[in-house]
Amino acid sequence: MFVILGIGNPGKKYDGTRHNIGFIAMDYMSAKYGIKINKIKHKSLIGEGNIAGEKVLLVKPQTFVNLSGEALREICSYYKVPAENVIVIHDDVSLPCGRLRIRKKGSDGGHNGIKSIIYQLASDEFTRIKIGVGAPPENYDLPDWVLGRFSKEEVSHLSKLVDCVVEEVVPEIIRSGAESAMNNYNGKVF
């Protein structure tokens, strides 16, 4: 079994924000694979289904970004899923908007949601799919930037990127592992 978690903040107020690109990807995945994310369990909205011949849990934590690890720890413990079978999709301000980077393990890179997950799982060995949302302009507050909405131009790039993540990257990670997906997609620009 794989747990695929999109990082984001719950509530209409945060719909379409940079920090919620993980939730946006989960919604695309839900539609693509017919997996309804509608069960409330373990501080999350969860959907169960299959992708690439494997059982998956699609997860949208309802804990807010900075506490994403609390929800994931409960899920991994309950379903007995090792960190190696976790795929986390999240925003990354260090990548230009529309750029994709996959990592098999590593540091939190300054992302509080990833920091929470590493702390709660006591492991950094989970796959991350980082979606570039660009750095804030000079003299722009980082929290305001990540809680801001995308421009029409950004939406165009990100729509193609999220399609690729849902239709190609996630199935490849499940079938062939993160390294295969890293070789084929890292640095790709949309």
Measured CA to CA, the distance from residue 142 to residue 96 in angstroms comes to 15
190 in a labelled binding site: no
Residues forming beta bridges with residue 100, ordered by sequence position: 131
Q: Give per-residue pLDDT as tens, 160-181.
A: 999 999 999 999 999 999 999 9
Q: Give per-residue pLDDT as tens, 6-54.
A: 999 999 999 999 999 999 999 999 999 999 999 999 999 999 999 999 9
CATH code of the domain in which 110 resides? 3.40.50.1470
Q: Give per-residue pLDDT as tens, 110-154.
A: 999 999 999 999 999 999 999 999 999 998 999 999 999 999 999
In a domain, 37, yes or no: yes
85 in a labelled binding site: no
Concatenated DSSP letters for 125-166?
-SEEEEEE--PPPTT--HHHHHTSBPPHHHHHHHHHHHHHII
Model pLDDT, residue 79: 98
Give the DSSP H or E segment for 2.
strand 2-6
Residues forming beta bridges with residue 85, ordered by sequence position: none
Active-site positions? 19
Residues 6+ apart with CB under 8 A from 134: 93, 95, 96, 97, 154
* Number of domains observed in the structure of the chain: 1
150 in a labelled binding site: no
In a domain, 126, yes or no: yes
Measured CA to CA, the distance from residue 184 to residue 109 in angstroms comes to 22
112 in a labelled binding site: yes
Residue 79 exposure: Cα atoms within 13 Å on the Cβ side: 24
Write out the residue range of the structural domain in which residue 58 sits: 2-185
In a domain, 70, yes or no: yes
pTM equals 0.97
In a domain, 190, yes or no: no
Measured CA to CA, the distance from residue 79 to residue 61 in angstroms comes to 16
Chain centroid to Cα 159, Å, comes to 15
Length of the chain: 190
In a domain, 180, yes or no: yes
In a domain, 136, yes or no: yes
